[in-house]
Structure 1
Amino acid sequence: MLLEIDLQSEVPLYTQLVNAIVEGIARKRLRPGEPLPSVRSLASDLGINLHTVNKAYQILKQEGYVQINRKQGVVVHPDTMPPADESYHQRLNEQLKPLIADAICRGLTKEQFGALCHEVFEDMRREENTNG
């Protein structure tokens, strides 16, 4: 599993790790039931603290992306993902607000922002279809 972590970024390492794994699942680089590296192994490979990896794995578990099992370790959730229900929509709304505000402050139009979102979405779907 190839993950890119930017040690110089202002984004917390555990957030980068969560985002990278979710993107790997979305792009079908990580398949349902596929094991992820152990906390110790991934921390060593990335040169980061064990607690950082553990925090990322716990967040992924809470959000339904992985299961943590004493025997199997951490695996990509083998079943379907939780649906995009009302609570997900509320969370997505809260996550989008700062991105949209930043885009507005930097002069992006609604159309430009929408086009960028569409481009990124299609890029992930395109890769999903080539990996699926």
Structure 2
Amino acid sequence: MLFRVDPTSAVPLGDQIAASVRRSVADGAVAPGERLPAARVLAESLGVNVHTVLRGYQRLREEGLIELRRGRGAVVTGGVPPQRARLLERVREVVADARELGMREDELLDLVRTALNTP
């Protein structure tokens, strides 16, 4: 699995790490049961703080994409289909675009509701 971060990006580094995993799950490059790199090892290879990696892993755990187990590390779950991982990534991109445009939360939600109700 390839992890890339762009320190010049407005996207927090932990979110960039999480996005790398999401893309790998969505593309099928990472299979359920596969272990992710240890947070310390990944932090060293990317030149970031270990807590940055842990924030990214925690976000993925909250989304149900990975399990964090003491002694086993981060493991990709089998319960989330790749399509969901792909959708999560696209939703995050839409939210980032909306923030960049200065949209309020209610404005974005209105757009989503309109899209959901349009055939």
Q: Is the TM-score greater than 0.5?
A: yes
Q: TM-score, normalised by structure 2?
A: 0.68
RMSD: 2.8
- Report the alpha carbon displacement of residue 97 of structure 1 after superposing the two structures with TM: 5.8
Change (3 A) 1:95 1:33: same
Note the C-alpha offset of 1:81. Answer: 1.1
- Aligned identity (percent) is 34
For 2:80, give the aligned amino acid.
M
Structure 1: stretches of 5+ with no match in the other structure: 104-132
Structure-to-structure mapping, 1:92-103, within 5 angstroms: 92=91, 96=94, 99=97
- Counterpart for residue 113 of structure 1: none
The residue aligned with 2:68 is 68
CA distance in 2, matches of 1:28, 1:3: 15
Q: Distance in 1 between matches of 2:59 and 2:99?
A: 26
Write out the 4+ residue segments of structure 1 that deviate beyond 6 Å after TM superposition: 100-103
How many residues matched? 96
Q: Which amino acid aligns with 1:25?
A: V
Give matches, 1:1-132, under 5 Å. Answer: 1-77=1-77, 79-81=78-80, 92=91, 96=94, 99=97
Higher gyration radius (CA)? 1
Give ranges in structure 2 of 5+ residues lacking alignment: 102-119
